[in-house]
Structures are given as structure tokens and as C-alpha cells.
């Protein structure tokens, strides 16, 4: 039987948010490759091989997965959330582009998953109801000046902005800098949401504003959503109307 490689995402955390299509792919796998904590979300059978690695070594992990598939194994690469959003699917294609030309002939597929931004939005209402964008604050793979340029452009265009990777132990100051920059363009009363462990039983939401937000509230499991000028509260929910006139047509 010839090998295959499918890149999947486990969703934001709770089992019900992993899609049935992803579960079916996992059931057919001979080898599972991924960052340890994501692999821990998957129940492995005794006949399935687990290849856990550290979080930082995405390209190495992608190459291992491709080599296993080339050797005829049914390989599944496991990400959190959606595998295409700041995750392993792109790393796999980077490895294909720079690796063994034979890898281009492999059966490689990507299975969509529920990304953190969608789970976080659902915890609070509909903050992504109008135009939005997603920016990762991690500068492991891009310059901080690039992050700043994109934040500025997104703020000037009045997008709702979902911030992935807002903070980690190695990067404690970036969210503060990002919010400060956004505050030079967006109004101080703009809603800022800190959604931790979205889509899990431990989900926790803090609603703040750009003028008062405490960036130290964010950690590696937090998604930060900065509103557009129309983003507002209604009752205990936060939403962004679909149109720029704020739903008052």
C-alpha cells in the first residue's frame, strides 16, 4: 500500500470540537507525528506509532512525517486548532518545497479544524461579525517590524484583529507593545477581549478596552480580539455588526 500524509487539527481543546472527518483520518493512521501536548489529545491504539516532538522543531517534524509517508506509512500530522492557521500544514509544504523532489508525488492532504479565533469569538458572542484579520505576534519566523506594519495597516483599515501567540515566557512584552501601537490609531474605548482556553471547559473571558487593557493577562493559551470601531456590547455579549452603519440600516 502506498503511503499518505494528512495534516489535521484537534480543534481548540474539547473533544466535540474535533471534526468527525479528523477522527476518521486518525483512525486510519499508522503513525502520528506532532507536538506532545497535541498528540495527548488523541487516543492512540496499541498498533499506532507516536512520534512526539518539541514545539519549536516544526520543519524537522514535517520532514520526519514526509519520510515516513515516502516509506509507505499512513501518516497523520497533528496540530492544535486548524492545521493551516499558524501551524503544521504550511511547515509540511515548506519541507516539500525544500526537500526530496520525490515528496512532490506523495498523497498529501489537509483536513480543516476549528481554529482558536472561532472558538474564542463564540465564547463572547459575535466579535468577528464584520471584516476581520488574524495576526500572530510571534516574531520567531518574522521581524517585529513586519508585525508592527501589519498591525498599523489593520488598525487603519478598521478591521477587528484577532491576535494569535500574544505572549509566551520568551516573549513577555510584545502584546503590550502591540496594544500601545493599536491605541495610537483605534479609540481608547475599543473593546479588547482576552479569551483563555476557548472551546474548553476552562474557558475564561476578560472584557477590557484598548485604553485600560492589562497585557499581562495573556499567556500562550489566550487569544486576544481587538474590536473595530463598531464592535460593542449588548447585554452580556460582544458583537460586531455586519455592516459599517452598525446594523442601523
Q: How far apart are the first and last CA of the chain?
A: 59
Q: How far is CA 199 from CA 146, 195, 241, in A?
A: 30, 10, 23
* Position closest to ligand SAH via CB: 81
Q: What are the φ and ψ backbone dihedral angles of 92, each rounded to 5 degrees?
A: -60, -45
Number of residues that bind ligand SAH (CB under 6 A): 27
Query: Which of 3, 12, 127, 129 is close enough to bind ligand SAH by CB under 6 A?
Result: 12
Tell me, residue by residue from 81 to 120, as one string, x for binding to ligand SAH by CB under 6 A and - for no binding. xx--xxx---------------------------xx--xx
Residue 156 CA to residue 142 CA, distance in Å, equals 21
Tell me, residue by residue from 122 to 141, as one string, x for binding to ligand SAH by CB under 6 A and - for no binding. --------------------
Residue 55 CA to residue 77 CA, distance in Å, equals 13
CB of 21 to ligand SAH, least distance (A): 16
Residue 181 CA to residue 144 CA, distance in Å, equals 12
Query: Which of 3, 7, 10, 13 is close enough to bind ligand SAH by CB under 6 A?
Result: 13
Q: Which stretch binds ligand SAH (CB under 6 A): 41-49, 145-153, 189-197, 229-237?
A: 189-197
Which is it for strands 125-126 and 237-239: parallel, antiparallel or unpaired?
Answer: parallel
Work out whether 35 is an interface residue with ligand SAH (CB under 6 A): no
Short-list 186, 194, 242, CA closest to 218: 194
Query: Which of 132, 164, 194, 239 is close enough to bind ligand SAH by CB under 6 A?
Result: 164
Residues 82, 22 contacting (CB under 8 angstroms): no
Give residues in contact with ligand SAH (CB under 6 A).
9, 12-13, 79-82, 85-87, 115-116, 119-120, 164-166, 195-200, 220-223
Amino acid at each position: 500500500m502506498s503511503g499518505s500524509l494528512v495534516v489535521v487539527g484537534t480543534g481548540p481543546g474539547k473533544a466535540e470540537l474535533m471534526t468527525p472527518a479528523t477522527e476518521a483520518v486518525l483512525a486510519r493512521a499508522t503513525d502520528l507525528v506532532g507536538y506532545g501536548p497535541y498528540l495527548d489529545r488523541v487516543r492512540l491504539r496499541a498498533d499506532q506509532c507516536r512520534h512526539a516532538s518539541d514545539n519549536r522543531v516544526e520543519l524537522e517534524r514535517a520532514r520526519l512525517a514526509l519520510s515516513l509517508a515516502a516509506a509507505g506509512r499512513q501518516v497523520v500530522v497533528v496540530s492544535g486548532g486548524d492545521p493551516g492557521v499558524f501551524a503544521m500544514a504550511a511547515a509540511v509544504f515548506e519541507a516539500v518545497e525544500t526537500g526530496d523532489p520525490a515528496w512532490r508525488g506523495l498523497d498529501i492532504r489537509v483536513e480543516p479544524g476549528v481554529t482558536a479565533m472561532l472558538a474564542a469569538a463564540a465564547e463572547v458572542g459575535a466579535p468577528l461579525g464584520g471584516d476581520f484579520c488574524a495576526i500572530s505576534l510571534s516574531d520567531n519566523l518574522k521581524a517585529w517590524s513586519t508585525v508592527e506594519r501589519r498591525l498599523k495597516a489593520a488598525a487603519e483599515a478598521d478591521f477587528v484583529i484577532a491576535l494569535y501567540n500574544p505572549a509566551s515566557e520568551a516573549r513577555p512584552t510584545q502584546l503590550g507593545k502591540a496594544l500601545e501601537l493599536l491605541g495610537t490609531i483605534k479609540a481608547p474605548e475599543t473593546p479588547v477581549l482576552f479569551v483563555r482556553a476557548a472551546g474548553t471547559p476552562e474557558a475564561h473571558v476578560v472584557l477590557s478596552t484598548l485604553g485600560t487593557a492589562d497585557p499581562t493577562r495573556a499567556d500562550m493559551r489566550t487569544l486576544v480580539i481587538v474590536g473595530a470601531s463598531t464592535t460593542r456590547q449588548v447585554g452580556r455579549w460582544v458583537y460586531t455588526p455586519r455592516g459599517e452603519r452598525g446594523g442601523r440600516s
